[in-house]
Amino acid sequence: MRRDWLQSWLADIIRRKHSAAQITLSHHNIYIVPSRQGAFFLCMVILNFILGSNYQNNLILGVAYVMLLILVLALIYGYLNLHGLTIQLLDVKNNFAAKPVEVMIKLTSPHKCYSLDVASQEFDFSDCYSHYSQGAQVMSLFLHPGSRGRYRLGRLKLSSCYPFGLVRVWTYLNVDKTFCVYPAPLPCQLTFSEQEVTADQGQYINQSTQSHENFDGLERFRPGISKSRISWRHFAKSQQLLVKQYSGDSYYSQHTFDYAEHDGGKETRLSKLCYQVLEADKQGDEFALRLSNAVQVKVSRGDKHRESCLEALSDF
């Protein structure tokens, strides 16, 4: 009972202190204690002290004192190792289920920073452990949150056991940010609601926009155009972002992907919808998403639209 109270109190304090998109580490947000190895080291100090004073051997006694001082120095150096470090959460990249979610963190350090270990306290993660030299760097932490859904990023813990592994220095980064785990795409036919097509415009049904016969020319990239249509070859040559235009582009096919059209369980249906969204986006088609009467995404296209569709799939 009391333990719970203590823990919630601590969690509250940490939330209050460490909730920011960016924090610079200093004495009021760095925590430091001797590690388990440090405790073992302290036992060795005591053993040496006993040995030294019983043998009246000043040299052994001196070693005991040296070790004690090294432990104190380790606390100082451990603190200074993280001191002045600025941590900023840049982005959390949504990803499909069973694939890692990349958390990008920018570290700006005024000095070399040894053995920084970044961990998430809410999710499984891949070890992220490295030295950072002076200056700004971007590091990635990969989370494995599991099934589809929208998650709160929660608390990140940055820790280091420099120097000698005798101390544990850590801090938290509590960012109020959410990320989505999209359903894993499940290949299926790129069906669409025929009714709507015939009723509205009556356009091309199966169109291969990738075919080069229809290639029309290049135009400048504008935000909102699908990145899959950027001509990377030109970018590599001239550093210019150009978008391939196809002759058929004037008639985009328009789809409506409907939850009710698919069969199978909920997750299977969502996975299939996910596949369809991705395929349609790849082809540059316009599409709408209809999950239920309440949840619908209007007809549109482009990166932003795709993202909002995928997020809707995650949230559903």
Partner 1 sequence: MTSDKLLGFQTLVTTLLYGLVSILLFNSFGLVFTCAMLLIVLFKLVIYRALVKGPSEKLVNLLAFTIILVVFVAIGFTNLVEMFVSLLLGACALKTIQAKTKKQAMSVQLLNFFVYPCFFIFSQNVLSLLFVLVLLVLNLAQMLWIEHGIELRSATRQAAKHLFLALPLAAIMVVLLPKVSPFWQLPGAKKTQTGLSEDIDPFEISELSRSDELVFRAILPDHAQMNPPFYWRTLVHDNYDGKRWRVSTHQDVPLQAPYRAVGESYTIIARASGKTWLYNLGQAKSSTRGVNTNQFGTLFMQKHLSSSLEYQVTPIHIAGPGLVHWQYQLNTALPDGINPLAKAMAEQWDSTTDNTADFIAQMKQYFVRHRFHYSLKPPTISDRNSIDMFLTETREGFCGHYAASAAFMLRAAGIPARLVSGYLGGEYNEERGYYSVYQYDAHAWVEYYIPQQGWYRLDPTAWVAPDRLSGSLSELTALEDEFKDNLGLSLMSYSNLALVNWLRLQIEQLDYQWTRWVLNFDHQKQSKLLRDLFGSYHKLLPALSVFMLLIAIFAARFWYLQRKQVAKLPEPVRLYRAICQLADEELYKVTPAKALLILQSQYPNLSQELEEFNQYFVKSRFSRAQLTKSEATRMKALGRLIIKRAKK
Please choose, out of 12-20, 55-63, 228-236, 249-257, the segment that lies near partner 1 by the rule CB under 8 A.
Answer: 55-63
Site stretch for partner 1 (CB under 8 A), options 79-87, 94-102, 141-149, 241-249: 79-87
Burial 28-37 (b: 16+ CB within 10 A, else e): ebbebebbee
Cβ 162 to partner 1 shortest distance, Å:
6
Residues 82-121 that bind partner 1 (CB under 8 A): 83-84, 110-111, 114-115
Nearer to partner 1, 70 or 278 (CB): 70
Q: Report if residue 168 touches partner 1, rule: CB under 8 A.
A: no
Q: Which of residues 119-158 bind partner 1 (CB under 8 A)?
A: 131
Question: Could you tell me how many residues of this chain bind partner 1 (CB under 8 A)?
Answer: 46
Tokens representing 165 are: 């592994």
50 sits near partner 1 (criterion: CB under 8 A) = yes
d(CA 11, CA 17): 10
Say whether residue 29 binds partner 1 (CB under 8 A): no
Nearer to partner 1, 15 or 112 (CB): 112
Q: Using CB under 8 A, pick the residue from 125, 132, 151, 162 that binds partner 1.
A: 162
At closest approach, how far in Å is the CB of 37 from partner 1?
Answer: 6
Nearer to partner 1, 28 or 212 (CB): 28
Does residue 37 touch partner 1 according to CB under 8 A?
Answer: yes
Lay out the sheet containing 86-93: strands in order across: 22-24, 86-93, 101-109, 135-144, 124-125
Residue 77 lies near partner 1 (rule: CB under 8 A) = yes
Q: Which range in 72-80, 86-94, 136-144, 151-159 contacts partner 1 by CB under 8 A?
A: 72-80
Asked whether position 65 contacts partner 1 by CB under 8 A, the answer is: yes
